[in-house]
């Protein structure tokens, strides 16, 4: 789901889902973490706002 959100420019939804996952004790796999890193590197705006 996170990958789909990010690839369709729904970064806020992807960030929200990741936050919920972490809150429940889960963590992102390497592929999801890489997608977020690419978003941060190539985006002109912060996804953390």
What pLDDT, in 10s, does the model give residues 7-44? Answer: 788 888 988 998 899 899 998 889 888 888 887 777 76
Which one, of 11, 42, 45, lies nearest residue 3 by Cα?
11
Residue 16 within a domain:
yes
Task: Kindly state whether residue 36 falls inside one of the protein's structural domains.
Answer: yes
Give the pLDDT score at 45.
59
Residue 49 in any domain: the answer is: no
| Owning domain of residue 9 | 2-42
- Residue 46 token pair: 């912060």
Q: What is the pLDDT of residue 47?
A: 54
27 within domain boundaries: yes
State pTM to two decimals: 0.67
Residue 23: the pLDDT is: 93
Residue 34 lies in a domain: yes
CA pseudo-torsion sign 5, 11, 17, 23 = positive
Give me the pLDDT at residue 46, please.
57
CA distances from 35 to 12, 38, 46 (A): 14, 5, 14
For the chain, what is the domain count? Answer: 1
Q: What is the pLDDT of residue 48?
A: 55
């Amino acid at each position: 789901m996170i990958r789909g959100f990010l690839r369709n420019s729904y970064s806020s939804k992807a960030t929200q889902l990741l936050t919920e996952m972490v809150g429940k004790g889960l963590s992102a796999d390497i592929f999801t973490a890489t997608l977020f890193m690419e978003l941060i590197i190539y985006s002109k705006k912060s996804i953390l706002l």
